[in-house]
A and B are shown apart, each in its own frame.
Chain A
Amino acid sequence: MERSIRMVTVNIDGKKIEVAEDTTILKAAEAAGIWIPSMCYSDLLEPYGVCRLCSVEVIRGKRSRIVTACNYPVREGLTVNTNSDKVKWIRKILMELMYSRWPNVPVVKEMAERLEVTKPRFVSLERDESENACILCGNCVNICRDVVKASVLSFEGIGIERKVVLPFNEQSETCISCGACAYVCPTGHIKIKSLETERGALQDFYLGPKSAINIPTLQAVPRVPVIDKNSCIKMQTGGCGICSEFCEPGAINYEMKDEEVDIEVGQILVTTGFNLFDPQQIPQYGYGRLDNVYNSLDFEFMLNSTGPTGGTIQCKDGSEPRAVGIIHCVGSRDENYKKYCSRVCCMYALKFAHLVKDRTKAEVYQFYIDMRAFGKGYEEFYKRLLDEGVNMIRGKVAEITEESYNGNKPHLLVKCEDTLIGKFREIPVDMVILCPAIEPAQDAAKIKKILSISQSPDKFFLERHPKLDPISTMTDGIFIAGCAQGPKDIPDSVAQASAAAARILSLISLGEVSVDPIKANVIEEFCSGCRICNNLCPYTAISFLEDKKISDINEMLCKGCGTCVAACPASAITGKGFTDEQILAELEGLLTV
């Protein structure tokens, strides 16, 4: 039954204000610019009304009554006094009660100061000195039950024994780790523990979880939020859905699914990038096992001003590192892992060294094999770092361990060989940054199969000619650029990609393309339809024509390798330029002399 919203006039502290009927006094006062204190109120929830701090005096005729502003609905002609002596007296004693029980909780202290309560007259036998004490506001229980609809948290105990608990004080299976309770907790009593990684990973730096709907990175294109299915409450329990309430254009669609789109193209540019070698394959470096061992991407994340530490370089416990070790060639130039050089690591490792020197007072130790500073300004940068006092140690690192001297907090120890002085060294550091090899993207083999392009021995995509045609593949119309073709840094990637784009555009603008004339074709009369050739073609250029019962070669796909020509038992396929007659004639010529 629809009820139209009636506007009513209420008198708050002498101010007359018009609000919708049934608005709470708290909200009406807010609209009038009057502040009413509250401790248990949250905009996300139905008013709970347990702290009683928002008590105000409601005057009706000759009678006055103390009610809580957060849940008292206004009616026409209501008169409210939010700051009478009686109200002030009530708030003062309430605050004394709270302050005597939770003297160190910041929100309690702030409110006490604001309400001018300095020394409570009570001694609470249930006094809790901690800064994160639970003040029993009920926000977490209510949000979990009403918004998230998971009902995991609840109150236990009657009266003064009341406390918030998980069922049986154990980790709950119904908890979806949405973090709503931690978000809404005013004292920080509730923390979400990341169970994925116990040590070393940057997730531990998060004070709270990322929201399920977020813009992945600040440089994302298009710069619109995405919803992570696994942490979105609505997709898990059907609750919440608050984001769509805030979205004015109503752009949030929870039903959206992946779409498959078919597009007809003439050319394909493959730029599927690279993967970072997982340093966990080299267990002696301790990645994923020891604290404060990071790979370069982790460290980049930390350096970034939008990252978890806001750009500060800090160890897991928050302290500044006293020494940092940067290890080159983790997995690269290595007989056991990748034999090639990953090209970019030396330079970014030097960049790290420079930034560490710039932002902290830490000593930097650079463990390298060769310093590859091949580009414009690169060598000069290297020299600059030498001047900045970065310690360059030429040698491979054998092992990284965790040590602790004299009961001090543990640090890392890098055991390496310094080949320039011919000694083994053990260098204590607080943080280690590994520069892992650049390897082909995880799905490279899959792409290779789909597009029928080749991989070179190191599994990057094979270019047509390493010197003269690094952007094309053997297959016409398919181009490669960037790290998909081999490790390279940004200027080179840009150059290669531009070249590929230019090549593609030139072909497009041609309208007509000239193709290599070396192609095979089937002589209809000779073909018996045995179909031996159909499966031989690596380019799937041969198909079988059902109506004519002969095989047919797609000249655009055919690359002219001649395998089908050799295989045809009826010699029904000719390879232009390398026909049987031609080859035999050559043989004739060669051998008669």
Chain B
Amino acid sequence: MSEEKKQNGWNPKIAAFLCNWCTYTGADLAGVSRLKSSPCVRIIRVMCSGRVDPSFILKAFKKGADGIFIGGCHIGDCHYSEGNYKTLRRIEFLKIFLEDFGIDPKRLRLEWISASEGDKYAATTLDFEKQIRELGPLTFMN
């Protein structure tokens, strides 16, 4: 089935959890600057990247996401002081589990993008889309 999808002009579904203060604003900036970013990225705004519960990521994969992108403030610059440290911990940890679940950890990406880095956001999303395309659609045993 994944092969079919690929051949039938499949577009990856990338769910993105963006932290309100930095990455979300950065994405906004990218848009305002008319920078080309990936259309496959579907954004969910959270106040802080630390809000992202690992269960969301798993549920998202289960619901059909091919890749998950988490964007937060740079380390040391978290709006809420330390939230992104926790995100870092969780995601690193989660990546280990993902493999056990049969999901390629490369499908989960954590980036630090600040509010002024619109270009980085654009570039990162495009790069991620390319990567997911290479990896192909995610197949789960339903």
Contacts and interface: CB of A to CB of B under 8 A. Distances in A.
Do A and B touch (CB < 8 Å)? yes
A154 interface: no
Contact of A575 (B51, B55, B82): B51
Contacts of A584: 56, 59
A591 B65 contact: yes
B122 interface: no
Interface stretch (B30-38, B42-50, B95-103, B104-112): B42-50
Interface in A421-467: 452, 454, 456-457
B6 interface: no
Nearest to B53: A566
Contact of B86 (A563, A583, A587): A563
Interface string A530-544: 000000101100000
A124 B52 CA distance: 97
Interface stretch (A1-9, A352-360, A554-562): A554-562
A381 interface: no
A591 B51 contact: no
Nearest to A562: B51
Contacts of B8: none
B13 interface: yes
B64 A592 contact: yes
Nearest to B65: A591
Nearest to A584: B59
Interface string A555-593: 000011111011100000001001010011011101110
A586 B50 contact: no
B15 A562 contact: no
Interface in B68-82: 76-82
A562 B90 contact: no
A469 to B, nearest CB: 13
Contacts of A562: 46-48, 50-51, 83
Contacts of B56: 580, 583-584, 587
A565 B77 CA distance: 21
B60 interface: yes
B47 A578 contact: yes
Nearest to B90: A566
Contact of A561 (B44, B48, B63, B90): B48
A474 interface: yes
A563 B80 contact: yes
Contacts of A386: none
B51 A457 contact: no
B52 to A, nearest CB: 6
A32 B142 CA distance: 117
Nearest to A536: B86
B138 to A, nearest CB: 11
B47 A454 contact: no
A518 interface: yes
A587 B83 contact: no
Given A538-B81, A590-B15, A591-B15, A566 B50 contact: yes
B75 to A, nearest CB: 11
A567 B55 CA distance: 11
Question: Interface residue tally of chain A, by bracket?
Answer: 20 to 34
A562 B46 CA distance: 8
A587 B44 contact: yes
B15 A587 contact: yes
A590 B50 contact: no
B80 A561 contact: yes
A591 B61 CA distance: 9
A539 B83 CA distance: 11
Contacts of A560: 47
Nearest to A580: B53
B36 to A, nearest CB: 21
A567 B77 CA distance: 21
A559 B51 CA distance: 12
Contacts of A566: 50-54, 86, 90
A591 B64 contact: yes
B47 A590 contact: no
Candidate in B48, B56, B77, B83 with the most chain A CB atoms within 10 angstroms: B48
Given A538-B82, A538-B83, A587-B44, A561 B59 contact: no
A575 B50 CA distance: 12
A587 B59 CA distance: 9
B77 to A, nearest CB: 7
Nearest to A559: B80
Contacts of A583: 44, 46, 51, 56
Contacts of B55: 580
Contacts of B81: 452, 454, 538-539
Contacts of B86: 536, 563, 566-567
B51 to A, nearest CB: 3
B53 to A, nearest CB: 4
B93 to A, nearest CB: 12
A454 B79 contact: yes
Contact of A587 (B47, B63, B76, B77): B63
Interface in A268-305: none
A35 B43 CA distance: 96
20 contacts: A452-B81, A454-B77, A454-B78, A536-B82, A538-B81, A559-B80, A561-B48, A561-B50, A561-B79, A562-B47, A562-B48, A563-B51, A566-B86, A580-B56, A583-B46, A587-B44, A590-B15, A590-B42, A591-B15, A592-B63
Given A452-B81, A561-B83, 18 more contacts: A454-B81, A474-B79, A538-B80, A561-B47, A561-B48, A561-B79, A562-B46, A562-B48, A562-B50, A562-B51, A562-B83, A563-B48, A563-B51, A563-B82, A578-B51, A580-B53, A580-B55, A587-B15
